[in-house]
Amino acid sequence: MIRLSRFSVLCAAAMVCAPVFAQERVEAGKPGGPGLAIKSAKILTCELDGRGVVDRGVLLVKDGKIEAVGEARSLEIPAGYELVDVGDQWLMPGMIDLHCHAGAIESLLVNDLNDTVFLTNPGLRAFVGTKPGNKRLLLGLQGGVTSVLVIPGSGSNVGGQGVLIKTGHDRFEEMLLRNPGSLKVAQWGNPESWGPGVGKTFETWSIGDAFERGLGYAQRWEAFEKNGGEEPLVDPQWEVFRSLLAQETQASVHTQMYQVVLKTITQLKGEFGIDVYIDHGSIGAWRLGDIAEEMGVAAIVGPRTTDTIARGFINWGQLGIDDVGFRGLAAGYQERGLKLIGFNTDSPVMPEAELSLQAGVAVRYGFDDSKMAAVKGLTIIPATVSGIDNRVGSLEVGKDADILVISGHPGDPRSVIDRVWLDGEDVYNSATERRRW
């Protein structure tokens, strides 16, 4: 009787304990879990300067961060690490899209992102529309896009504040990379629909006016923090300019056409001295590549990737200046000497999952990829430009373990993304989940 009861107690204990153990066991690579070692034929480490590749390498992940990267023959895998060998497949950092609307809209009919009540709205914040489990972003995750800048639309000159988030995770706090991720400015080419009589001259004045006021506000705060005195009143409308002045965030500028992009560079960067990058940058603007390089302004190209011959009312390629049928935009900037060139989707204009194809098309139309410029334009360049390169954009020690397993060059539509780790967490595995993309 006693024996039997002991046995039954053991049984009961086993039954109770088994699920408890299972729950407590944290997946390798995740914070608090055992280490993860990933072995691959080729690791595209994508550091900004340098070769960016390790052949026959191993990557160690611990607590959601990259612990070490190196050649398999020299890097020892510590005991207790879970080994994943991806064979001939490559590893690369998760891709970053600096122009995403899909993160805050799931349907094109609901357009909360373009509140064009005023012509300048620096106080509006895109993050209120973002949520975990956004279907478009989850599909983007299967396409290798792990971080995005969700920004307001271009219906007004200053659309509001963008937010940098990761595409996976269950909680917004885990997704968040930085808020404000940027201040969205639309230099020209859409705010016209705001009202009658709004054109390039007024829009330039309107942007200048907003920046004068905003930076003035920020300077008052800066002076107060430095010298003390009377505390300025908090004005949510202008708060974002404190981050801009401190260069903790950037202005992401919807801008295209030569003269408009020139204004972006000379007004926002030149006059106001804040960090600015060109978004879109199409319709002849590639001719400013040298000036952009000189002024330290990067170009994040898309969703248009080419200038084409004269079409309709807009002379897209500015035929007559040079008689070329199809001009790759990224190639144009590159030929003029610009180094920081990235890609965007303007999702859902281009689906989030197709970010990598934007780079592929650029290469097709003449962008020199011999030093991995296309892969870097999808990873470390957008990370650097948006100031999150301390966390994402490359597979370097100390950075977030946002890792893709991919069968070949990401620009090739035939390349398959098999697995995705986000902060060391196994968020997508084609072996266990239906491939949607």
Partner 1 sequence: MKLNSKTLLFLSLPLLFSFSSMASSMAPLTFNAPRVLLGDDDKKGEDADEEDDEDRDRYLAVIGGDVYSGNGSVMRGASILAKNGIIEEIGHDLWIPEEAEVLNAKGMRVYPGMIAVEASPNIVVSTSRSADEGLGDLHVHPVDEEIDPLAVFEAFADELLEGRHSVEDSYDPFSQSLVLALSSGITSTVSNGTAIKLKRGEIDDLVMSENSQVSMAWSSKNPAGRRSLREKFEAASSYLRDYRVWEKRPKSEEDTKAPSEKGVDKNVVAVLTGQKRARFTSNEQGDLLSLARFAQQYEFRPIIVGCIEGWTVADELGRAGATAIITPRDRRDRNEMLNRESGSTIENAAILYEHGVQIAIIPSNTGFDMGGQSGRDLMHLPIEVGFAMRGGLPESAALDSVTVVPARLLGISHRVGTLEEGKDCDLIVTDGDLLHYQTFVQYTVVDGSIAYDKQKEIFFAHIRPRATEEVFDPGEEVAEDVDEAVVEDSEAATDESSEDSPTDEEGADEDSEEESDEGGDESEEDGR
Q: Cα–Cα distance between 315 and 437 in angstroms, integer?
A: 36
The span of 30-38, 52-60, 202-210, 232-240 binding partner 1 (CB under 8 A) equals 52-60
Task: Tokens 């970053």: give the residue.
Answer: 96
Q: In the structure encoding, which two tokens stand for residue 351, read together?
A: 């689906």
For the segment 19-48, give every residue that binds partner 1 (CB under 8 A): 42, 44
Query: Which residue's CB is nearer to partner 1, number 69 or number 218?
Result: 69
Q: Which is nearer to partner 1, 240 or 257 (CB)?
A: 257
Prior bond of 348 cis (ω within 30°): yes
The region of 62-70, 267-275, 360-368, 390-398 touching partner 1 under the rule CB under 8 A is 360-368
Query: Going residue by residue from 234 to 263, which x/- string records binding to partner 1, judged by CB under 8 A?
Result: ------------------------------
Contacts of 227 (CB under 8 A, 6+ apart): none
Binding segment for partner 1 (CB under 8 A), chosen from 16-24, 218-226, 301-309, 388-396, is 301-309
Residues 108-137: x where in contact with partner 1 by CB under 8 A, - otherwise, as a string: ---------------------------x--
Instruction: Select the residue interacting with partner 1 from 139, 175, 177, 218 (CB under 8 A).
Output: 139
Q: How far is the CB of 332 from partner 1 (least distance, A)?
A: 11
* Chain length of the chain: 437
Q: How many whole angstroms separate alpha carbon 270 and alpha carbon 265?
A: 6
Nearer to partner 1, 150 or 388 (CB): 150
Residue with tokens 């989707």: 345
180: preceding bond cis by omega (within 30 degrees): yes
Q: Residue 139 in contact with residue 351, Cβ under 8 Å? A: yes
Task: Identify the residue among 82, 174, 190, 426 touching partner 1 (CB under 8 A).
Answer: 190
Range in contact with partner 1 (rule: CB under 8 A) among 18-26, 28-36, 49-57, 392-400: 49-57
Work out the number of other CB atoms within 10 angstroms of the CB of residue 357.
Answer: 20
Question: Parallel, antiparallel, or unpaired for β 90-93 and 53-62?
Answer: unpaired
- Kindly state whether residue 311 participates in binding partner 1, applying the rule CB under 8 A: yes
Q: How many residues bind partner 1 (CB under 8 A)?
A: 65
Q: Which is nearer to partner 1, 38 or 388 (CB)?
A: 38
Provide the residue type at 145 as one letter: V
- The answer to whether residue 196 forms part of the interface with partner 1 (CB under 8 A) is no
Closest CA to 148 of 125, 179, 121, 120: 179
Q: Applying CB under 8 A, which part among 20-28, 175-183, 222-230, 368-376 lies near partner 1?
A: 368-376
- Cα–Cα dist 170/5, whole Å: 44
Q: Is 370 in the site for partner 1 (CB under 8 A)?
A: yes
Tokens 């879990």 belong to 33
Rule CB under 8 A: choose which of 17, 326, 337, 397 binds partner 1.
326
Closest CA to 126 of 60, 180, 167: 180
Q: Does 308 bind partner 1 (CB under 8 A)?
A: yes
Residues 6 or more apart from 163 whose CB is under 8 A from it?
103, 125, 126, 127, 130, 149, 150, 176, 178, 179, 180, 181
Nearer to partner 1, 52 or 160 (CB): 52
Can you tell me which of 131, 364, 396, 426 binds partner 1, judged by CB under 8 A?
Answer: 364
Residue 312, number of CB atoms within 10 A of its CB: 6
User: Is residue 434 at the binding interface for partner 1, with CB under 8 A as the rule?
Assistant: yes
| Residue 227 within binding range of partner 1, rule CB under 8 A | no
For residues 92 and 379, the answer to whether their CB atoms sit within 8 Å is yes
Cα–Cα dist 388/391, whole Å: 6
Query: Which structure tokens are listed for 382?
Result: 């957008």
Is 397 one of the binding residues for partner 1 (CB under 8 A)?
no
Binding stretches for partner 1 (CB under 8 A): 42, 44, 51-55, 73, 135, 139, 154, 189-190, 193, 282-283, 303-314, 316, 323-326, 328-329, 331, 346, 349-351, 354, 357-358, 360-361, 363-366, 369-370, 372, 407-409, 411-416, 434-437
